[in-house]
Amino acid sequence: MITLFRKIKYLDQSAQSLHEGELLVRGGKIADFGPALGTPEGAEIIEAEGAVLCPGLVDMRASIGEPGFEYRESIASAAEAAAAGGITTIAVLPETNPVIDDPALVRFLRARGEETGSVSLLPYAAATRGLEGKELAEYGLLQAAGAVAFTDGGKPIASSRLMRLALSYASGFGARIVQHPEDAELARGGAATAGPRATWMGLPQIPAAAEAICVARDIRLAELTGGALHFAHVTTAEALEHIRRAKERGLKITCDTAPPYFDLNETAIGDYRTYAKLSPPLRVEADRLAVVAALKDGTIDAIASDHQPRDPDDKRQPFAEAEPGGACLATLLGVTLARVQEGDLALPQALALLTAKPAAWLGIEAGVLAKGRPADLCLFDPEKSWQVQAGKLPGKAQNTPFDGRALEGLVLGTWKAGRRVYG
């Protein structure tokens, strides 16, 4: 099959600038791109009229639900939501039932992703058996089966001794540990960021310092062991400053954040809106601005969806008792583009945080437009607006913290290995 995209703006191979021209797909791979390629015989023509063509988005952290929690989200429904959001690769957290701490489950998820034909699934394996924080999983066997890194997902590795062992063990395989940065004791039972708003609402509180304390401890352990450590969904100015200084010292430290933490602040919980109950919780405005600044200066290495599907019964509870988490696959691109429209990021910079940078971190052949690479593509109109509506999102999960949010940046089409899977 041959497809020619015309009148597009495309992100170049360096992921640093946009060019106007055409892109040719042949046999599922990118054959050529440039200002004027001519029209091959039998080619399907996509007249993009100034829309932007970028690599399919690489979501470096999301929960799916399957196996075990298919009532929240299945692989098929997540693939539907991902395609609608321009996502062609998802790194999947091990928070399933059974937990992904067995090589067979790693292979299962990779195979199920291929079966969808629209999204590649790259499993994280559990850092500790059963996500229980007691003993390490078998990193060597899990990595050989295709695990991309090791994490306990939304649970922090609380024990300093166990984190030290995990970093040392993983470094022997050239692997990374991914930490949910939160002091478990300080956060226990909390539902909102500590401060006047949580006090006024009568909510159990999580001090913002819980994140920075965990980050500071784990940076010291990474320095002690020489291990590679990644902090997921970083949300506070203090934690980001620790990470910034660690990078300046040359430590193997990376981090990501997620759209709620640079688009929303704690006021979004409003009148006890459980869709805005997340983990970590939404922060004060000063922390949101610090996250935006860290995206801009490169302290943050990537943007992940942090998709956490919940069913209605999980959220139809008093705020303190509701399950945390937001459905964020379909909104990943649009909310990130809001930072471009506000002047915080250049468009190539924002797209790189969703494509080239997470792909490089994962060590996969994705995230860039280059000759011979698989034609995983996302075509979007950066000026076309749409409104997020819970209940009308693609996929099963509707628990979006962005319900009612107007966004500019509409996905017009998604292609996986040259085959159109959305639009």
Grouped pLDDT means (10 residues each) for the chain, 423 residues: 93 81 96 90 90 97 96 97 98 97 97 97 98 97 98 97 98 98 97 97 98 98 98 98 98 98 98 97 98 98 98 96 98 98 96 97 95 97 96 97 96 98 96
In angstroms, the CA 259 to CA 159 distance is 29
CATH architecture label of 2-52+375-422: Roll (2.30)
Query: C-alpha angle 292/294/296, rounded to 5°?
Result: 75
- pLDDT tens for 277-316 read 999 999 999 999 999 999 999 999 999 999 999 999 999 9
Phi and psi torsions of 410, nearest 5°? -105, 125
In contact, 73 and 395? CB cutoff 8 Å: yes
- pTM value is 0.96
The SS3 assignment for 91 reads strand
Q: Which CATH code, of 3.10.590.10, 3.30.420.80, 3.20.20.140, 3.40.50.150, is assigned to 56-362?
A: 3.20.20.140
Nearest Cα to 86, choosing from 317, 268, 319, 350?
350
In angstroms, the CA 90 to CA 156 distance is 21
Q: Give, rounded to a whole angstrom, the gap between the first and last alpha carbons of the chain.
A: 18
The encoded tokens of residue 60 equal 């470096």
- For 35-160, list the strands marked E by DSSP: 44-47, 52-55, 57-62, 87-92, 120-123, 125-126, 150-151
- pLDDT tens for 372-394 read 999 999 999 999 999 999 999 99
In the chain, what are the domain boundaries?
Answer: 2-52+375-422, 56-362
Q: Matching CATH topology for 2-52+375-422 and 56-362?
A: no
Residue written as token pair 């590649």:
120
* Burial classification of residue 358, based on how many CB atoms lie within 10 Å of its CB (0-12 exposed, 13-18 middle, 19 or more buried): buried
* Active-site amino acid positions: 306
